[in-house]
Every structure is written in structure tokens, then in C-alpha cells.
Chains A and B, each alone.
Chain A
């Protein structure tokens, strides 16, 4: 065990209709090798032993890829450090005696389930509106190499496709906009020949669903790009805007 002592100020909320409040928790014996979530494990272990309600938070893979973890730490989505998710944040980023504020993603479109866990199903609905190529499973498709894709396009599509759907972009945006998330999928598929036939329909449908879900408008603050754990670039928002504009103009 380590020797850091910390004070945590953690958001507690019993459900979507509870008002919620910050509560104080001292944590001792924190080692700098711990991940932030392991530090919360230690706190929860202690709370359960005391018969108290442990802190609810989402997490799963704990290696930065599933997108489930989602903490707003000291005013930043996924906490201090760039290019990492909450589960990849390690305690060596903090020092003995620190006070740390831990809150859930805050957005009208992401209601709190309990404490730090929120409901991000809105993202699934945006995806279901058009974030796909309409191809059925078939054992008779053309060979994967039948259509060469310029490496540059494939690489850019990949960069967009690395989005983990965590929602940090929404949580960090002053308007609660989901443009970076939506743009990443639109852009990935727009860059690939397989995605082109439906590009217009996709851009229109996904944006329409995004608006329906109650996400805010994009005002190009660029905050999302800074906090995105996967470094998804604002370029993709620009591409979405181009796709959307072109689709709107030629819409029948």
C-alpha cells in the first residue's frame, strides 16, 4: 500500500429524480501505482465494510477501450492528462494531500442513474439512425481487396473510427453537443468507398436523431477535441458539416 492521503469530494445521487449532493471522503494509503478506479475500489471496500452504500460508477475493460468509464475529475472529463480515459488515469498524477472533485458526466441527454453512472443510450440511438453500411451478412461479397482504398483515406477513416463512445465530448462541451461523436462515425464511413452510397442519408439521419435527443448545438469551442481520450479531430466535424450541407442542398 502507498502513503498518499487524499480528500475526495464525490457526487452522490440516488437516482435521476434525486437532487444529489457532494460528499466528503478521506482516503488513506493510496499508492501512486494505483489507477484512479483502483483508488475508488479501495474506498468502496472500506464503505462496504462499514455497512455504507458504496459509490456507483461505470467501468469495465479498465484499459481505455470499452468507453464505459466516465468520470469528471477536477473539472475535466477523464481527469488530468490527455489522450486517456478515467481508467487509464493513475494516481501518480496527484500528490499527497490533494483534494479531488469527482462528478458524473453532466448533460441533459445523459441522465444520472446513480451517483457517477449515467445513461448514454442516446448514443446508441444516433448510431441506429444511420451509423452503418447497409450490407447484410453474406458469404458471397466481393473480395476484400477488390476495391483498393488509398492508405491515407484508410488511415483517416481509422482515426475517426477509434471513437469509444464514452461521451467525454458531450460532458466537456459548454453546450452539451454530441457533434464530435456523430461526426466521427459520419466521417469514417464517408471516407471509405463502402460508405459513400449512403453518405447523404446517413449524415441527415444521424444529425436529426442527435437533435432529437436533446444534445446542444456545436459552436466550435473545440473543447471536445481537447478532452477526447482518442484524440478525435475537429476535422471530422468539418467533414460532417460538409456532408450535411451537401445532403441538405440536394435533398429531394
Chain B
């Protein structure tokens, strides 16, 4: 029974990181040249870490499964990145960002980590500006901000609707600069298939060259997993098709505990599912909730008429619309946090007020914003008594300037113009707060194995606030790991290169090869995707936006059944030693089939509702908070860190108690 040591530094919350930085061991420049480090994943966390560590003088090998480091899924983040700059003079501060994040996470995050995140947030913006990231600017040439859900200040920096792309290209450019210098050796189209443990420490990985199918051994003094989240366990999510849990899961099976696997973020504003062919879901940025108003018809008969195509949203008079977020949460309105907005949409749709054929959609309406902006523009342009058409024309231009690319994206997918007709949206899986358990140094329970960004569990508690994922990825990669990994390497300056001919590498490689051969030689009948879709449906129905004990127990049984069938009946075409996308998928789905079970076990264990984890049995039954999530701080204010025991159904639970010294635990209220 290992005891979880979070290694939180001593001292007051705002001095911990400074104290820690001053007391960690460091590696002298000449010794850094003797240290090898593997970085898996080249998104914001991995790209930033690989570049920064190479700049410092370490020998870095970076891996990604995509054909270029620039394509990691961070690229798809739309809305923005938070930073406590207080450029808007609206009362923001490091403390307020810290507080909002702890509260937004429903008091299930580690205070010290979150405070550090808030502290370094401002550095991130400066770093990115220096790299040439073209953030949005105002006419004075200064950086612009917008608002995101769950907060009452404007602290989100953005680059139109493509903030993730621009930040990632910044990190990628820093990475390629080091590749050009030979300080980073880049392995694209490579997938990590196992981590190798030598004498209790992570000392390398086994990777598959996805072009040739060759299995490779790579040794290093530490391995950094920056491999993103596991939302694709649901099959349908806003994640990229290739996003997977394999690297993290293999690490878990080698001894890294998995933290809070059940904490999943369901994003409220995604394009609804259109049919059984659907391969992924598309997010509509949270920034749209700055100006869009969410509603459903107030009358059941109107909702029914809309579903049957007899009425349109625009036919419903103002008085018969239910702007349910504004009604339920007057203080935050349409900008409540994601978990709250998603559940409210589900509640209305379950009650029969959904507005598309499947009954699973609500409106996100910009007509009020178009009118408001149109009038403002008319005033600015000194147009007297503007016609309704003129106001609409002017207002549309403003909305187009702000959100044009998102509106175009919507029209492309749905085939309907969102300027004329209110958008239809529905929640979808977007992000996973859970991940590998790490201590304050971002080290997992395996020495030398670190996890950064979405791959770890650390900063967002049970719910992540908008524009905080980019912040965390870059904070971990640029400003945390370069310090904390040095403390670990201080013991390795005399170790010398890791020998990949050791028995531990032989054994790990054999396991990888055996797994691959099983799939190739299996004489099954069904494609990988079929099993993935089935798993996804079970997860969405029973471990999605709302969960209950009975459903979770059923899910566990069903997942076991699917897993058994998968190994027996999956058909993987082609050979092991070639470019083989079916084989890639098979390995990933095999891991999702184990992870899914653990998520249900974790959700079943947590007899409370918090953030993205909503247990139907635990909600307020009366009073002003009726229907809202009901936490149980007395029994569940802990991180659930699961230890692999050799059987997906028999993980050992370890608890890291969460102590709150700064923030008082209260019921999260956005009313």
C-alpha cells in the first residue's frame, strides 16, 4: 500500500512555488548534456516541454502519432487562454483566477497546483507574444480580452476562433527551432505502445513506427507523457479521431495511478448528432455564449411542432420562449460553467422541449445580439432612424467579425445559415479532467514518469473552466516541468546512457509484439469501429452527463461483454510491418475498453455529485438550489487514485485527501 505524497511545498499559498523553485536541485549546464528525456505528444504541453528542455541543454526525443508535431489536438481549441493580467481593470488578480478555478472545479482540485497555475498564467501570454503569436488586439495595438463561463471578469486572450492553433504553432515553432539545431530528435508517425521500467524508474519507451510497423526501443532518464485526454472512450466526442489513452493507460498498467477517471467534461455547445454514420462531433466555441442566448420553447406543443417541422424557431414569439439559463441562473445567465449549462440542456430536452428531430437540441440564438450591435453601429455611424433591415445588416457584420469562422463551420456541417436561423446545439464530450495522478512536481507514482497537460488530473478538479486547458498545457510545459524535472535529474548526472538491450526492454517489446500479433492473427469478423461505437454508446448512456448506481453497474457488465467479444471477434486487416490504420485503432480501442470500466467503477465509488460527475441520486431536492449537484465534502473531498492490479475490474483505490486552506468550501452557486 503506497501512500500518496503530493509533495506540496510548505508556506503560504502564494509563496509555495517561489519557495519550491528556490529549494529544488538543479543540473549544471555541462551535466544537462548527459541527460536524455523522452517527450510523448507534441501538443501545448509536450511541444512546450520539449522545446524548453532542449533550450536548457537536455537531449530530447519527441514523439507524436500525427504526421507532424504541428497537428496535435491542442490545435483545435477555439476560444482562448486565461491569464490574470488584469488588463481590463476589472478586478482580476492571481488570487481571483485561482479562486475561480478552484470553485469552477467544484472544490475537487489541489489548491497549491491551481495557485501555481494562476501565478504563471501571465508569463504564458508574454512568452507567446514574444514568439510571434498573433493575439487579437484593439485599435490601440494592445491585447484584447473576452469573457468565458464561470467567471465575472474578462481575462481570456484569443486569436479569433483559433487560439489553440496559434498557441500550438508558437510552441511548434519553438520546437522546430530546436529540431533544426539538432537538440530535439523528432519522431513523427510514431506511437508509444509501452513504457519501460528499470529498477523502479521509467527509463524508456517502446514505440511503433507507423509507416513501417517497426517496433523501436528508446531509452531515457525520464519519460514525459503529454498525450492529452481520453474523451474518445465515448467514440463520439469533439476530440480528434486519433486522440487516445494508450500512452497513459500503458503507464497505468506499469504502476502509475489513474486519478479521478470519471471526471469528464461535457461541453454544452456542440453541433448535435445527425445520424448513425457520425464519426465525431464539432464544438461551437464557448465564446459564442458571450452573445448568443440559449433557449427552448416554453410550451411543449411548440417544441413538438418544431420537431415535426411544422414550426420554426423564429415562429415562436418572445413571450413563449424559455431562456432557461437566464431564468435559473440570473447572476451568470448564459455564462454559467460548462457542466451546469450541459445539465440544464439535458434537463429541458429530457422534459420534452428539444428542438430537432431527435429531440436532443436547444437553440443558441444571436438575433438579440445582431439587433443590439446593429443599433450600436447605427449610432456610431450616425444613421438616424435606421430601418430594421439596416440594423440587421450592420449587426450581422459585427457578429460576423467576431464569430464568422464559427458560423461558417456550422453552416458547412448543418447546411443551414445561422444568421437566419438560430443555431441548434447539444452537449458533447469534450475534455477529461481525470488523468494520471501526479504530485506537485507533475511526477506520477512511477519515479521518472511525468504527466503534463490534459494527460494528468491535477488542476481542474471535477470541472474545467473555459480557456483553462490551454493555460494548463502551456504552464506545465513552459514553466513547471523545466524546474521540477531538474530536481529529479539531479540524481542522474552519473547514470550514463540507458542501455536498451536490457531484459526489461526485451520483455516490454515482447508484450507489445504479442499484442500486435494477436490482432493480426485474430480471425474475427467485425471491424474495430463497431466495438468502439458500442463502447461509446454504453459510456454515453450510463457514464455520461448523468449517472446512477444501477446504470453504472450495468455498464460495467456490458463493457466486459464488449471487451470479451472484441478480443474474440475483431478483424484487423493487413500486416504488422506496414502502414496499418486498422491495427492502430485496434490497440487504442483495446485500452479504451479497460479504461471505460475503470471510469464506471470510479463513478460508482463517488457517491456524490460534483462538477462533471453528476449522480442522479445526489442532487438537492428542495430549497433555492433544487435540482443542483449535491457534493459530499465530509466523505469525498479526496482524489481517487486507482492502482492497476492486473484486472480492469479490480483496481485498488488510494485516496489523496484534499485540504482547503485558502478557499472555503461552499455550495457552488451561479444564481
Name A residues whose Cβ lies closer than 8 Å to a Cβ of B.
1, 15, 31-35, 37-39, 41-42, 44-45, 47-49, 51-54, 56, 58-68, 83-84, 88, 90, 92, 113-114, 117, 119-121, 123-124, 127-139, 141-145, 148-151, 154-155, 157-158, 161-162, 164-165, 188-189, 192, 194-195
* Residues A37 and B279 in contact, CB atoms below 8 Å apart: yes
Name B residues whose Cβ lies closer than 8 Å to a Cβ of A.
48, 51-52, 55, 66-71, 73, 75-76, 85, 87, 120, 123, 125-143, 159-160, 162, 164-166, 169, 172-174, 176-177, 179-180, 186, 188, 211, 238, 240-242, 274-280, 282-283, 408-409, 412-413, 415, 478-479, 482, 525-527, 529-530, 571, 573-574, 578-579, 581-582
Q: Complex: how many Å from CA A141 to CA B67?
A: 32
A/B interface sample: 24 pairs, CB < 8 A: A35-B413, A49-B526, A51-B571, A54-B581, A54-B582, A62-B279, A63-B238, A66-B240, A88-B409, A92-B415, A124-B69, A124-B176, A127-B70, A127-B172, A127-B176, A133-B173, A141-B126, A141-B129, A145-B87, A148-B137, A148-B141, A157-B132, A161-B166, A162-B162
Chain B neighbourhood of A61, CB < 8 A: 71, 73, 75-76, 240-241
Question: Which of B127, B162, B173, B240 contacts A137 (CB under 8 A)?
Answer: B127
* Residues A132 and B173 in contact, CB atoms below 8 Å apart: yes
The residue of chain B having its C-beta at the shortest distance from the C-beta of A127 within the complex is: B176
- Closest chain-A Cβ to B577's Cβ sits at a distance in Å of 12
Chain A neighbourhood of B51, CB < 8 A: 137
* Residues A144 and B143 in contact, CB atoms below 8 Å apart: yes
* Residues B131 and A161 in contact, CB atoms below 8 Å apart: no
Q: Complex: how many Å from CA A229 to CA B242?
A: 22
- Closest chain-A Cβ to B536's Cβ sits at a distance in Å of 14
Q: Complex: how many Å from CA A15 to CA B186?
A: 22
- Closest chain-B Cβ to A57's Cβ sits at a distance in Å of 8
* Residues B125 and A66 in contact, CB atoms below 8 Å apart: no
Q: Complex: how many Å from CA A67 to CA B142?
A: 30
Q: Complex: how many Å from CA A38 to CA B274?
A: 12
Q: Complex: how many Å from CA A97 to CA B137?
A: 49
Question: Which of B136, B278, B409 contacts A63 (CB under 8 A)?
Answer: B409
* Residues A158 and B129 in contact, CB atoms below 8 Å apart: no
* Residues A41 and B69 in contact, CB atoms below 8 Å apart: no
- Closest chain-A Cβ to B499's Cβ sits at a distance in Å of 30
Q: Which of A1, A49, A90, A145 has the most CB of B within 10 A?
A: A145
Chain A neighbourhood of B75, CB < 8 A: 61, 65-66
The residue of chain A having its C-beta at the shortest distance from the C-beta of B575 within the complex is: A53
A128-B179, A133-B130 given; 16 more Cβ-contact pairs under 8 Å: A38-B279, A61-B73, A62-B279, A62-B282, A65-B75, A84-B412, A90-B413, A117-B579, A124-B179, A132-B131, A141-B127, A148-B137, A148-B140, A151-B138, A158-B159, A162-B162
Q: Complex: how many Å from CA A128 to CA B172?
A: 10
Chain B neighbourhood of A161, CB < 8 A: 133-134, 159, 166, 169
Interchain residue pairs A-B with the least CB separation, the first 7: A148-B141, A128-B180, A132-B173, A158-B134, A137-B52, A144-B129, A48-B527
Question: Which of B70, B131, B478 contacts A165 (CB under 8 A)?
Answer: B70
* Residues A144 and B125 in contact, CB atoms below 8 Å apart: yes
Q: Complex: how many Å from CA A83 to CA B407?
A: 13
- Closest chain-A Cβ to B9's Cβ sits at a distance in Å of 17
Q: Complex: how many Å from CA A129 to CA B132?
A: 16
- Closest chain-B Cβ to A155's Cβ sits at a distance in Å of 8
Q: Complex: how many Å from CA A66 to CA B529?
A: 22
Q: Complex: how many Å from CA A123 to CA B68?
A: 9
Q: Complex: how many Å from CA A35 to CA B278?
A: 9
- Closest chain-A Cβ to B388's Cβ sits at a distance in Å of 30
Chain A neighbourhood of B275, CB < 8 A: 1, 31, 33-34
* Residues B579 and A154 in contact, CB atoms below 8 Å apart: no
* Residues B277 and A34 in contact, CB atoms below 8 Å apart: yes
Question: Which of A15, A68, A143, A154 contacts B66 (CB under 8 A)?
Answer: A68
Chain A neighbourhood of B280, CB < 8 A: 62-63
- Closest chain-A Cβ to B8's Cβ sits at a distance in Å of 21
Question: Which of B68, B131, B277, B482 contacts A133 (CB under 8 A)?
Answer: B131
Chain A neighbourhood of B76, CB < 8 A: 61, 63, 65-66
Q: Complex: how many Å from CA A192 to CA B67?
A: 29
* Residues A154 and B136 in contact, CB atoms below 8 Å apart: yes
Q: Complex: how many Å from CA A128 to CA B573?
A: 37
Q: A1-B275, A54-B573 are in contact. Are A162 and B67 (CB under 8 A)?
A: no
- Closest chain-B Cβ to A132's Cβ sits at a distance in Å of 4
Q: Which of B70, B129, B186 has the most CB of A within 10 A?
A: B129
* Residues A90 and B165 in contact, CB atoms below 8 Å apart: no
Chain B neighbourhood of A1, CB < 8 A: 275-277
Q: Complex: how many Å from CA A192 to CA B70?
A: 21
Chain B neighbourhood of A117, CB < 8 A: 67, 579
- Closest chain-A Cβ to B436's Cβ sits at a distance in Å of 23
Chain B neighbourhood of A44, CB < 8 A: 527
Chain B neighbourhood of A124, CB < 8 A: 68-70, 176, 179, 186, 188
* Residues A151 and B173 in contact, CB atoms below 8 Å apart: no
Chain A neighbourhood of B164, CB < 8 A: 65
- Closest chain-B Cβ to A128's Cβ sits at a distance in Å of 4
* Residues B66 and A51 in contact, CB atoms below 8 Å apart: no
Q: A65-B76, A67-B71, A192-B132 are in contact. Are A144 and B85 (CB under 8 A)?
A: yes
* Residues A67 and B174 in contact, CB atoms below 8 Å apart: no
- Closest chain-B Cβ to A101's Cβ sits at a distance in Å of 22
* Residues B579 and A45 in contact, CB atoms below 8 Å apart: no
Chain A neighbourhood of B136, CB < 8 A: 154, 158
Q: A65-B76, A162-B165 are in contact. Are A138 and B176 (CB under 8 A)?
A: no
The residue of chain A having its C-beta at the shortest distance from the C-beta of B412 within the complex is: A88
